[in-house]
Structure 1
Amino acid sequence: MPVALVTGASSGIGEAFVRLLAEKSYHIILVSRREERLRLLAEGVEQMGGTAEVVGVDLTTEEGLTRVKEHISWHPVDLLINNAGFGLYGPTSETDPQKEQEMIQLNVRVPVALTRAALPQMIERGSGRVLQVASTSSFLPVPYMAGYGATKAFILHYTEALHAELKGSGITVTALCPGSTESEFAERAGFKQQHPMPAAEVARQGLLACEQGRPFVIPGTANWFTASLPRFLPRPWMTRLVAHFFNDRT
């Protein structure tokens, strides 16, 4: 039975990934700080034909990150999905600096650390997949979500570089770059979404691209157009356009 580890598994895209993997009869390691939600989800996984185990940790802490890295070292995974993350909305000078550091930890340091934990085992086996959840913000400077956009740009570039490094090894690394999605993300960040895609469809496209070994995927035509803006507009124009779009979305 193949083994998958999914961070941020308790809701949104993460939960959608779990349900898709359950249908494929994976053994799924569910990682999130909301342990009670994970236990309910694990029961659903078993009803769908998969198996699951719960790892309730806060990945913004060193203790939580270390626990998951150790779990990977003891229990090798075939598929690692780095989905956990959050954003902060508002002028940078007005957002909580401690929350910003936690965001950088969760959005950047955690996926890098878990990828590094899984890769040696995958390389030894000559097989494995890593799916990183990035964003359409990976392609653009994002005024009013400056730190979040920068973390997702890191994830996209890191993923594309690893994908090239690992070519021919039997291991693939894919970045999923969604736009607005039906999840708790926007509410937690503090802004209103417009025309969100269903989380299940975002997860389906991400998992398909991962299985196909693609370096990245952008779900939805509108999101593809947004991510393509740097090809057509001078960077100052593009940044002003994004600033206009993100200003006053509370």
Structure 2
Amino acid sequence: MTQPDIVDSHCHLDFPDFDDERPAIIQRALDAGVTRMVTICTKLRLEPQVRAIAEAHAPVFYAAGTHPMSAADEPLVSTDELIALAGHPKFVGIGETGLDYHYTSESADIQKQSLRIHIDAARETKLPLIIHARAADDDMAQILTDEFKNGPYTCIMHCFSSGADLAKAALDLGFYLSMSGIAAFPKSQDLRDIFAAAPFDRILVETDSPYLAPPPHRGKRNEPAYTAHTAKVGAELFNMDYAAFAAQTTANFDRLFWKAAQ
């Protein structure tokens, strides 16, 4: 039986977890109906190898930025560097960037500086900003809102697992929320409620693989083929059948990640 087409909007195919079987993992994704995937570079010095994966596999696109947890250890990126990368035909987003005060609160100042540079690049390139936010809801909402006043940009709150106030702030700016395997965990009802209250034309799905595998694979290595498990939970939240939810989230992806649109 043919699976409905769906997109994994955020994965990390360059991570060593996949080194031994990357082509097979991409093929399993295709077999599961995952027709496109966006692999994310989290340190710009690794951009060439992430780009190479996208160039070698037709269904794979890529984005690049400096992850907030690495902001203090990596050279500060410039807007011009990010704009230059955006010239590649398979480069479809800016980031991931953001704020993480759970693990790296001591580098909050440099994280904020890096985030604003990425926002500027997203504004200039018209590519979506890819945000990682953890334990930084108030600062994140403030920066995203303040920067939007300086000039509009588009954005996806990747692997959204923050509170309702940050969700509202992002949605009020016209941004998107992405469901990861966390939304499928049994104890994530509060998070599911946040997604269920959001406009369904602003929802994407992702794996964030190799992390956060949804049930029934929880605790194991995640991979893009498992996108469907999270999407089936999303379909239930919106009282849609799986095929309709897959079609809606794919349309949402195409609107946001316009360079990867079929």
TM range (shorter): 0.3 to 0.5
**TM-score for both structures, normalised by structure 2:** 0.38
Structure with the larger helix share: 1
Tell which has more relative contact order, 1 or 2 (C-alpha 8 A, sep 6+): 2
